[in-house]
Structure 1
Amino acid sequence: MANLSAEQSNVEVRMAQQAGQEAGRTGIYLSPMAQRRADFSDACASLFARLDLADSADVAASLMARAQPDLLIIDLDRFEPSIDLDALADLVARRAGAPVLLLCPFAGVAWLPALMASGPLRYAVTPLDGAALRTMVETTLAQPGAPTCDAAGLRALLDLRTRVQAALDDAEDAHTLAESLCAALCAWPGVLHAGLFLLREGNDLQLVAQQGPDGLLLGALLQRTDRLLQAPLRHAFPGLLAAAGGTAALIEAPEQPGEPALADGLLAHGVAMALGVPIPADGPGAPRGALSLLFDAPRAFSLDEWNTLADVARLAAFGLRLAAIGQENEHLLVRLTYISTMDALTGVANRRHGEELLDKEIKRARRYRVPLALLAFDIDRFKAVNDTYGYPVGDVALRTVADTARAVLRASDVLVRSGGEEFHIIAPHTSAIDGLRMAEKVRVAIEQAQIPGCDHVTVSLGVAQLGEQESGDSLTQRTDAALARAKRAGRNCVELAMQ
């Protein structure tokens, strides 16, 4: 059987060689690698009456200047876009629509839209074995036309752009945007699964969203969902390749990257092709992340499709940036609110915010007919603390007093620094008697508190309950008057305000 198979293969080669020679077909194969030129010649030379091998774009251009071949094959492996793109694009442009076949490494398919812009061409993703390479060359010779979008395909691209734009318009934050983008991509015909990877702080690439069949989960395929730049499959899975390298990656068959476990996992879920498209950064540097698309059947992308995918990635970057700006604005608003309402030294409400809160609590107490108490206290002989121990110790004393008072208050009570060493406590649902008990707890706690840099401090307190028709200013004045009486009574004591 083995001898018969070998004989049959030799017959097929001779027949193809005869067909190529009879047709008088000529070809140019361009690769900077001697071994690749030799391998291609072994696999495909019999398809041509004449096959020229070129090791540079200049040599290929010289050969084309003498006679245009029936097929130009450019093997992009080991060419550099930053160096060779212009020369290779010129070769494609010189073909003026004549057949061109690109052999593109799966980790470098960013070449494809760049060269497609110079003229129509077909492409195949490598690595390919000799039989598959020969089949691709035969197909290109028989059907030289480039991939194009029909009317239905163009409508699908328009629908994709519309859905992606809607996802940006409706997104509230980065998470909802990522989920909506994946849903929009899954609606593109042929897409079985869509995922979105984002680069977080600390060079941590995470899978932040995915859409697809219930059993198809990228975390299971990749064996992790975070710190994916260190994942064992970062060199093989197109989504990770795009996020790490910043260029699109495509495998037209799951076995192409040479990872059997990944290939088996993809095939088990009906995945025939996988694409990764980088999400560009705001400026120079690593990409923001990548879009991952898994397809249920192989397909050749047209230039319109490549351009649409690039536009989707740019829109994703724009939307993510807007979401980040929105989050930054929220943080700034929270910070601004904190700065404008809280005392920087002690972390309690400042005087202005305290006055606003007191007015609100007075309205609530009147509406629901519940008692409201206001307490005032200040640190006894605080000037002596500053004079004796210095202002840094005085600041420590203020913070300690505030922290100690907050520790004994209820969650509904509000501590306010009204100025210098003076504080107020707004105590909802509190009568005068309960206010006296609260004041005594505060006094004892502060008297017992340890203050680094000095021994102890004490406080004097005044307590008042809101009258039926009383204003906030009047309540504050009565509370402060009670505090003054506590000072005159010898300090470190509590006084109840008079009606």
Structure 2
Amino acid sequence: MAQQEGVRALHTGLFVNPVGQRRTAFRQACADLFGSLRVADGAHAATCPPGEPPADLLVLDLERFEPGIDLPALGELVAQRAGRPVLALCPFTAARWLPALMAYGPVDYLIGPLSPQEIRHALAARLAGGPAPAAAPQEAAPAELADLAALLAVCSSAQGALAEADDGMCFAEHLCAALLRWPGVLHGAMFRLHDGADLRLEAQAGSLPEGQGLDLAGLLRRGDRLLQSPLRHAFPGLLAAASGEMVLLDAPGKAGEPELAQALGAHGVEMVLGLPVPALGPGAPRGSLCLLFGHARPFSRAQFAAFDDLARLAAFGLRMAELSRENETLLGRVTQLAATDALTGVANRRHGEALLEQEVRRARRYRLPLALVSFDIDRFRNINDAFGHPVGDVVLRSVADTARALLRSSDVLVRSGGEEFQVIAPHTSAIDALRMAEKLRAAIEQADIPGCDHVTVSLGVAQLGEAESADSLAVRTIAAMARAKRAGRNCVELAMQ
């Protein structure tokens, strides 16, 4: 009691919070720790009156303050302290207050929620050493220098993960492995928002051997659709991704989920940090990084800055992975467009020639039969002249669709000219190709085509000769098709050797 009286005689205090009930609770719990205690509802009311020395300890209770509104005023209050002690009481869901306030001056902090008795105990421990003098700029302690060196190694390792950024999963795994190099980290994880729909555990890594460590998918009872998890309001990794705020839980029990706290404690986890991975530009976060520590510890401004760098690096890596996927999709689409006839959707002439060359080489190498069928729509020019080119386009599409429906999956339909088509038929002899051609002829003749009733086709068929080239095979089928035209059209002719 004598020690507490001595503390009270030495110290003056200032408590700032906008909620009257919280100011009253603090005064009731902690007033006897100070020789003089003043309370204020905001930064303006907390300004030191002229001629009165600043309070020995400023306590900023950040509950109900809004960073976007109140940060400049509260930050100026910290700056005016000229290094005198500042203690921030920060809700675990709003840890972004801490680096923001530290930019104005030295700030110590406690993570809430805290009961008045817990706040009193922490204050008594801090005040027991006597009033702190105005702080002058200090050199970093050796331990802090060692931490910063370790952080540089973490950031360097995380940057190395960018080499795998063309594969989002591989990048996430390498980044989680890099997080384990942060002093005290037992487990690292990345959560990622997929297609703007829901959150998924993208990757995780632990310091313990596989099978003995923590599995977050099991802890959270699912690996995807995590925005619907019953723990989304309590687990920092999920909360950071959903809210876009840094979340610092320095005691798992403060989250209000006893089972979660027990599960984390069973794996030696005493502190969890959730870092939102920002979007590169406006928009919701891309996900979050989650670091699980074996011991609770305070962080400096430099360490918070390193966390921010890691989150931005993760955002950059994920964007690179997305760009890689988009480029692959675009390349596939461009390739498809370059190989496809825009009107009918079948292979165009250039692609068809390449495929025929490829099938000729395969047939010759493995001594397999290969057939080519060429066909032409009879009197197509008359259709265009009589009904117009739009109807002609309908005819071309209808003929292509009818032929495609009859072909095998291994056959390739090619539009080789205006109204000319080819069918590349691997593993097909001349006899089988004649049967195929006759089916095509009959089906096209019977097909109902809007605008011009029915059309017919003339077909030429050839089987690849032993030493024949693709060009020679195509010439022979075209010659056979020409004979079918001369024979009265709407018939099939077999090419001569």
Q: Shift in Å at residue 417 of structure 1?
A: 0.6
Q: Distance in 1 between matches of 2:398 and 2:170?
A: 43
Measure, in 2, the Cα distance between the counterparts of 1:336 and 1:21: 77
The amino acid that maps onto 1:19 is G
Quick one: which amino acid aligns to residue 122 of structure 1? Answer: D
Q: In the alignment, which residue of structure 2 is the partner of 1:167?
A: 161
Who is 1:310 aligned against? 308
Aligned position for 2:188: 194
Alpha-carbon distance, 1:193 to partner: 2.3
- The residue identity in structure 2 corresponding to 1:338 is Q
Which secondary structure does the structure 1 equivalent of 2:6 belong to?
helix
Q: Which residue number corresponds to residue 124 of structure 1?
A: 110
8 A contact 1:16–1:47 mirrored in 2: no
1:209 correspondence with 2:207: no
Partner of 1:71: 57
Which of these residues, 18, 39, 43, is aligned with residue 53 of structure 1? Answer: 39
Q: CA deviation at 1:268?
A: 3.3
Q: Secondary structure at the match of 2:98?
A: helix
CA distance in 2, matches of 1:273, 1:452: 72
Q: For 1:459 and 1:65, locate their aligned partners in 2 and report how far apart those are by CA, in whole Å.
A: 105
Equivalent residue for 2:149? 155
- 1:218-367 → structure 2 map (5 Å cutoff): 218-367=216-365
Q: Note the C-alpha offset of 1:74.
A: 0.9
Note if contact 1:17-1:49 (Cα within 8 Å) is conserved in structure 2.
no
C-alpha deviations, 1:69-120, integer Å up to 9, x for none? 2211111111121222122222222222221111111111101111112222
Instruction: Give the C-alpha shift of residue 52 in structure 1.
Output: 1.5
For 1:350, give the aligned amino acid: N
- Secondary structure in 2 matching 1:123: strand
Which of these residues, 170, 176, 186, is aligned with residue 182 of structure 1? 176
The answer on 1:19 being equivalent to 2:19 is: no
Deviation per CA, 1:112-137, whole angstroms, max 9, x where unpaired?
A: 11111222221111111223212322
Are residues 1:87 and 2:73 paired? yes
Name which of structure 1's ranges 99-108 and 217-226 shifts more when overlaid on structure 2: 217-226
Equivalent position of 1:3 in the other structure: none
Distance 1:163 1:137 in 2: 39
Determine the C-alpha separation between the residues in 2 that align with 1:217 and 1:443: 63
* Percent of paired sites with the same residue: 61
Q: In 2, distance between residues paired with 1:67 and 1:445? A: 100
Shift of 1:364: 3.6
**2:373 match: secondary structure:** strand
- Corresponding residue to 1:96 among 70, 82, 87: 82
Contact 1:386 1:394 (C-alpha < 8 Å) held by counterparts: yes
What's the CA shift for 1:381? 3.8
Q: Distance in 2 between matches of 1:111 and 1:423?
A: 70
Matched position secondary structure for 1:35: helix
Q: Give the match's secondary structure for 2:58.
A: strand
CA distance in 2, matches of 1:431, 1:224: 56
TM-score (norm 1): 0.89
Is the 8 Å Cα contact of residues 273 and 295 (structure 1) preserved in structure 2? yes
- 1:62–1:205 CA distance, 2 compared to 1 (3 A): same
Map of 1:7 onto structure 2:
none
- Give the 3-state SS of the residue equivalent to 1:216 in structure 2: coil
The answer to whether the aligner puts 1:107 opposite 2:105 as a matched pair is no
Secondary structure of the residue aligned to 2:45 is helix
Question: Quick check: 1:101–1:140 contact (8 Å CA) kept in 2?
Answer: no
Cα offset, 1:369, TM superposition:
4.5
Aligned partner letter, 1:184 = A
> What is the aligned partner in structure 2 of residue 443 from structure 1?
441
Give, in angstroms, the shift of residue 456 of structure 1: 4.4
3-state SS of paired residue (2:462): strand
How far does the alpha carbon of each residue in 1:11-32 deviate from its partner, in whole angstroms, 9 at most, with x for none? xxx445413234x111111112
Selected match of 1:485 from 478, 483, 486 = 483
Please, which runs of 5 or more residues in structure 1 have no aligned partner?
A: 1-13
Q: In 2, Cα distance between the equivalents of 1:405 and 1:297?
A: 71
Over 3 Å counting, the alpha-carbon distance change for 1:263 and 1:65 in structure 2 is farther
Distance 1:25 1:357 in 2: 88
Which deviates more from structure 2 when the two are superposed, residues 37-46 or residues 354-363? 354-363
Retained in 2: the 8 A contact 1:459–1:491? yes
1:494 matches 2:486: no
Q: In 1, distance between residues paired with 2:358 and 2:239?
A: 57
Which whole-Å CA distance do the structure 1 matches of 2:238 and 2:332 have between them?
36
Of stretches 335-344 and 253-262 in structure 1, the one that deviates more from structure 2 is: 253-262
Structure 1 counterpart SS, 2:172: helix
For residue 460 of structure 1, the aligned residue among 432, 435, 458 is: 458
The secondary structure found in structure 2 opposite 1:125 is strand
Separation of aligned partners in 2, 1:247 and 1:376: 66
> For residues 220 and 471 of structure 1, do their structure 2 counterparts lie closer, same or farther at Cα, with a shift above 3 Å needed?
closer
Task: Note the C-alpha offset of 1:335.
Answer: 0.7
Report the residue type matching 1:403 in the other structure.
Answer: D
Question: Per the alignment, in what secondary structure is the counterpart of residue 107 of structure 1?
Answer: helix
Please tell me the residue identity of whatever aligns with 2:269: V
Gaps of 5+ in 2: none
Residue 14 of structure 2: aligned partner: 28
